[in-house]
Amino acid sequence: MGPSAGGAVYSPAITDFVFMVRGTAFMYVTGPDIVYSVTKEKVTHDELGGIKPHTTKSGVVHKAFENDVELLHQTREFLGFLPLSNREKAPKVYTSDSDVREDAFLDHVIPPDANMPYDMKHVIKSVVDEGNFFEIMEDWAKNIVVGFGRMSGETVCIIANQPKELAGCLDINASVKAARLIRFANAFNIPVITFVDVPGFLPGTQQENGGIIRNGAKLCFAYAEADVPCITVTTRKSYGGAYCVLKPKHLRGDYCYAWPTAELAVMGPEGAVKILTHGELGNGTVKEKENVYRTKFATPLLTAERGWMDDIIAPRTTRRRIISDLKILKTKKFTPIAAKKIGNIPL
């Protein structure tokens, strides 16, 4: 709610969540005067450590508010999602929202064109209790949506690709953002619900040189070590390495579902056709070859036949299926193969 500078910034930085108030809160290791004396760069308190750099660039701050009253009000609401400690259960809240409610809107949320975006937040709000979704870090790594909701009155952590941003691709920031919240959920015994619509990892030298392998591995590690109830729903597509790291059965996903619109494969139809045909199409156009690949290999039926998908579900039944599974998973117990103090995440 006010300034935090020098070594003092590490006090909030090591806490679970950091909230800031616009205009009065600043965070930086070295202030504007020191920056100017060393680098001759002129920068204001707000430009250096205000809300904009920390919510859109650095990823230090999880949520920003206009004033102290709003921050306190929202913090109280947020604490309602959380347990008092890792030895307590998150509080159950009464809801009038039926456990078996179905939403016909979900049957039509996926556009007919596979390249058209849609807002995954609409899917999330249609599934959680009373549409109440408390999003975290909404202005940083927008290609993935993370936050908290309730299912049948009980807190869940939600991770979801966002097709509206970078087509939902995973990149360095998105991987770190999701991994952080998954580890929090695992530490405090909160179930994780994952909505998947991902064409893969974002390509390019900037991502590779920036360490997408190491940072993508953080997401894989976080999901792999998560022993809380985990349910994954693929809405439209899940390709390649991105499929592998978003809690499929291979990473001990408890229940994995796909909507009928889902496409799951080693790679997307466009790339697959180029590799399989070596540029020589023979009979048929590129589109025709892509449609054959999509129908023959990218169908969720193949994944289900091989046991890597529990069911192909009608979108409108998503809420009912998740709540039913969470009730079954309440007594889930996981015994690690070997006792160890802590996992060595690839930081």
pLDDT for 283: 66
pLDDT for 333: 87
The answer, yes or no, to whether residue 174 has pLDDT greater than 90, is yes
The answer, yes or no, to whether residue 134 has pLDDT greater than 90, is yes
CA distance linking residue 292 with residue 325, whole number of Å: 34
Amino acid residing at 111: P
- β-pair type (144-151, 134-136): antiparallel
pLDDT for 282: 63
CB 190 within 8 A of CB 156: yes
Instruction: Give 212-235 pLDDT, tens digit per residue.
Output: 999 999 999 999 999 999 999 999
Instruction: List, by residue number, the catalytic residues.
Output: 6-7, 241-242
Instruction: Give 51-94 pLDDT, tens digit per residue.
Output: 999 999 999 999 999 999 999 999 999 999 999 999 999 999 99
How many Cβ atoms from other residues are within 10 Å of residue 278's Cβ? 7
Q: What are 53's two structure tokens?
A: 């750099």
Domains and CATH numbers, the chain: 3-77 (no CATH), 85-331 (3.90.226.10)
Instruction: Give 270-304 pLDDT, tens digit per residue.
Output: 878 878 777 666 666 778 888 888 888 888 998 89
pLDDT for 328: 96
CA distance linking residue 286 with residue 284, whole number of Å: 7
Mean pLDDT throughout 150-165?
A: 97
Alpha carbon 258 to its chain centroid, in Å, reads: 17
CB 131 within 8 A of CB 140: no
